[in-house]
Amino acid sequence: MTTATLTRTAARVVDAMKVYGSGDTAVRALDGVSVGFGAGRFTAIMGPSGSGKSTLMHCAAGLDTLSAGSAFIGDTDLSDLDDRRLTLLRRDRIGFVFQAFNLVPTLTVAENITLPMDLAGAKDDAASKEWIDALVDIVGLRDRLHHRPSELSGGQQQRVAVARAFAGRPDVVFADEPTGNLDSRSGEEVLGLLGRAVRQMDRTVVMVTHDPVAAAHADEVVFLADGRLVDRMQAPTPDKVLDRMKAFDAAGGARHAGQAPS
């Protein structure tokens, strides 16, 4: 099973370069990253702050454009798309869970969940109705469907965001620090949902996080440092991830120590 899914990637970047600014002040946020995110897998992107992990996710998800190299969703090269097509691609083929401010305050929970489909003007067919119905039960929000986001707790809001991300059965769901604003119990719930979506419903999730405990929910962790892919880890556990991260800190510390005298 593993080998079969590995041959297919839901999203990937090839020689991804992202440069902010120009001249002396230019910053290379991504410096030649090539990585694929397997379909049907839960991948975590980790790295210290400034490592480029958020930039990688933004570029892979069509929220930002690369300075050089290419990004693909399935076989679609994102660099070929104009803003409109990119938007439609995000709407139809990608799901998003952000750290905060995931929901439109004027819409009810139910409306927030179906927002991408409503934006597409899609007719509710029986299959998608059934799917969303099931999602609502999985995230446990049936009794909150007609509430406004402001009436929900932070954890509940993130669960709504998770339901929305999967509602359109997208090729891939990108989650950017989805538990960053939550207490550990709520965070655990959200991570559990993401994991279940991948393992029980064959969805694909790419998650950016700096929390080793969160990363341990993934099937695989890719490590970024200074805009480069430095490591990949299968079957992560919190301890293994933490150790790997400590190694970065040591390297970083050594670098800083080395620079200090000059």
Partner 1 sequence: MSSLSTSARLSLSSLRAHKRRFAGTFLAVLLGVAFLAGTLVMGDTLRASFDTMFGNASSGTDAVVRSTNVITTPGESQGTRQPVAASLAKTLADIPGVAAAVPGIQGAGQLVGDNGKAIGGQGPPTLAGNWINDPELNPYRLAEGRTPSKTGEVVVNRGAAKKGDLKIGDTTTLRTPDPVEVTIVGLATFGGEDGMAQVTYTGMTQADAEKYLTPRPGEAASIQVRAGPGTSQRELVDELTPVLPKGVEAITGEASAQENTDMISGQFLTLFTTFLLVFSGIALLVATFSIHNTFAIVVAQRTRENALLRALGASRRQVTATTLVEASAVAVLASAAGLAGGIGIAAGLQALFPAIGFPFPDGALVISGLSMLLPLGVGILVCLGSALLPAVRAGRTAPLAALRETAVDQSGGSRRRAVIGTALGVAAVAVTLVGVLASPSIWLAGLGSVLILIAFVVLGPVASSHAVRVLGSPLDKLRGVTGGLARRNALRSPRRTAATASALMIGVAVVSLFTVFGASLKATMDQTVSRSFAGDIAVSAPSFGAGGSGLSPKLAPAIAGQPQVATAVGLGKGVADVDGEGRALTVTDPAALARSFDLGTVRGSLDDLGTDGIAVTRKEADKQHLQPGSTARLAFTDGKQQNFTVRAVYGRSELAGDYVITRQAWAPHRAQDSDTLIAVTFKDGVSTDDGKAAVSKVAAAYGHPEVQTRDEYAQSSAGGIDMMLTLVYALLALAVLIALLGIANTLTLAVHERTRELGLLRAVGQTRAQLRAMVRWESVLVAAFGTAGGLVLGGFLGWVLVEASDGASDSAFAFALPPLQLVVVALVGLAAGALAGLRPARRAARLDVLRAIATE
Among 26, 68, 79, 118, binds partner 1 (CB under 8 A): 118
Q: Which of 24-54 are b and which e, b meaning 16 or more Cβ less than 10 Å from the residue's Cβ?
A: eeeebbbbebebbbbbbbbbbbbbbeebbbb
Mark residues 16-55: x for contact with partner 1 by CB under 8 A, - for none: ----------------------------------------
Among 41, 53, 159, 164, binds partner 1 (CB under 8 A): 164
What is the closest distance, in whole angstroms, from the C-beta atom of residue 56 to partner 1 in the complex? 13
Residues of span 73-92 touching partner 1 by CB under 8 A: 83-84, 87-88, 90-92
Among 6, 119, 250, 254, binds partner 1 (CB under 8 A): 119
Q: Does 128 bind partner 1 (CB under 8 A)?
A: no
Q: Does 64 bind partner 1 (CB under 8 A)?
A: yes
What is the closest distance, in whole angstroms, from the C-beta atom of residue 197 to partner 1 in the complex? 17
> Which residues, 6 or more positions from 174, have their beta carbon under 8 angstroms from its beta carbon?
57, 60, 61, 94, 95, 96, 97, 205, 206, 207, 208
Q: Does 106 bind partner 1 (CB under 8 A)?
A: yes
Q: Does 96 bind partner 1 (CB under 8 A)?
A: yes
Nearer to partner 1, 13 or 245 (CB): 13
> Which residues, 6 or more positions from 172, have their beta carbon under 8 angstroms from its beta carbon?
10, 11, 37, 39, 61, 73, 93, 94, 95, 204, 205, 206
Q: Does 235 bind partner 1 (CB under 8 A)?
A: no
